[in-house]
Copies of this chain bind each other. A is one copy, B any other.
Amino acid sequence: MGKKNMVIAQSGGPSSAINASIAGAISRAMAAQEIGKVYGAVNGMQGFLDRKLIDISEQIKSSDDLDMLVHTPAQALGSSRYKIPKGEEGNAVFEQILTILKEYDIGYFFYNGGNDSMDTVCRVANYFKERGEDIKAIGIPKTIDNDLAETDHTPGFGSAARYVAASIAEVYLDTIVYPLPAVTVMEVMGRNAGWLTAASALARDTGVPAPHLIYLPELPFDPNDFIERACGLIKKEGQIVVAVSEGVKYADGTYLADTGAEEDMFGHKTLGGVAAILEALLKEKSGIEGLKSRAIMFSTLQRAAAHYASETDLKESYQCGWRAVEAALAGDSGIMITIQRESDDPYLVRYEKGALDNIANAERTVPLEWISDGGTNVSQEMMEYLRPLVRGESSETIVGGLPRFFRFDWTKTVEPEQR
């Protein structure tokens, strides 16, 4: 095919490394003879269908802009939770996608996101193939949950892991200053996959014993066992930190956060999911006099903390974007760039292409053999897996002590070029 334009969009939940991927893709695309304009769709597939296309080639004015983009957290092109419907209705949407792509003379479609996003781009790619359209559709992985199939790990995970681990170490030091029995429960994101909660174990590499207990959603949570272990540890250590995944479930499969959430004064579910429940459980049942307890939710801080991103993560995220464009130029479609680990130490990876058909509806959870101590800790293998991913200090642009971010102007949407 001759010279064609490209479009890139982002979807799913934010991460602090997601924009490194579009920076990589933009950088490679701008250097490609085969690619004309680089469009960005604002707010994912929904925005694309609404023709909210901006001209990225015009808005990125320098390599400083690109560098700032790398270090800017959360989708710089906005996100969307839109899913293409199944069946007849879905076909109409695919038609509409094709119409817009042709209007804008686009031959390359890149979608940057997690599981749902990979499902979307998979279906789009398959539709193009069925229709015999020569348009390449490629997925660029992103998720702090680290739960995409076919890849060793996902861009975004290492940065969130670094922030969570360092913060837990810091909070532990804060917890021990008073010689009083205390427990701090820290809630980490991850509804079905416990990777990020497992990464809390890296806090120990800073020389602290926290977290003392780690609960992942992969194994059922036993309240009595938790109380017994926590009380034993508090009596022995004085102060302990517990890391818990938001998605932990009882043996019957119900989420702790579902059963425990109380309604507030206005009839809404209260804030504080599972950490508050574990904290309350200990306060109620420990029998330890004067027990100080605290629940901390990392909330969106953990996925937005660009200031403590892992440079390893940012570099890999950039490479995934760069290589997605290379793959498209080489004629690939219906694939996602994956990261394959060659070795832990020295840490070496190579980039491959995974079939979206195998990725779209798969979810990669923590192998049970990497969970240890009766479901309250992680194994040495997990530590070795995690360590390289948090390496390297973020080199964000700092002015006056504070970061500077790159922001696209989402209102500057463009019409198709006259041909």
Expressed in whole angstroms, the minimum distance between the Cβ of A307 and any Cβ of chain B is 5
B400 with A205: CB separation less than 8 A? yes
A136 adjacent to chain B (CB < 8 Å): no
A95 adjacent to chain B (CB < 8 Å): no
Interface-facing stretch out of A215-223, A224-232, A259-267, A367-375: A259-267
Residues of B within 8 A of A264 (CB): 262, 270, 276, 280
Residues of B within 8 A of A310 (CB): 401
Quick one: CB contact mask for A195-212 with B, threshold 8 Å, 1 for yes?
000000011011110000
Expressed in whole angstroms, the minimum distance between the Cβ of A238 and any Cβ of chain B is 11
Expressed in whole angstroms, the minimum distance between the Cβ of A224 and any Cβ of chain B is 16
A284 adjacent to chain B (CB < 8 Å): yes
Expressed in whole angstroms, the minimum distance between the Cβ of A347 and any Cβ of chain B is 10
Residues of B within 8 A of A398 (CB): 393
Q: State the CA gap A301–B305 with chains docked (Å).
A: 13
Residues of B within 8 A of A294 (CB): 299-300
Q: Which of B80, B177, B262, B305 contacts A78 (CB 8 A)?
A: B177
A83 adjacent to chain B (CB < 8 Å): no
Query: Please, how many residues of chain A have a CB less than 8 angstroms from a CB on the other chain?
Result: 78
A115 adjacent to chain B (CB < 8 Å): no
A169 with B405: CB separation less than 8 A? yes
Q: State the CA gap A165–B175 with chains docked (Å).
A: 23
Also in contact, A403 and B169, with CB within 8 A (given A174-B74, A271-B295):
yes
Also in contact, A174 and B304, with CB within 8 A (given A272-B270, A400-B205):
yes
Quick one: CB contact mask for A372-405 with B, threshold 8 Å, 1 for yes?
0000000000000001001111000011111111
Residue pairs across A and B with Cβ atoms less than 8 A apart, 15 shown, are A14-B174, A14-B177, A43-B178, A43-B179, A73-B170, A169-B402, A174-B300, A202-B402, A205-B399, A206-B405, A207-B405, A266-B281, A272-B276, A390-B402, A393-B401
Besides A162-B402, A169-B402, A170-B304, 16 more A-B contacts (Cβ < 8 Å) are A14-B173, A14-B177, A46-B179, A74-B176, A74-B177, A79-B177, A79-B178, A166-B307, A171-B304, A175-B300, A205-B402, A262-B262, A268-B284, A387-B400, A390-B400, A391-B400
Question: Which 3 A-B pairs rank lowest in CB-CB distance, beginning with the nearest?
Answer: A170-B304, A79-B177, A391-B401
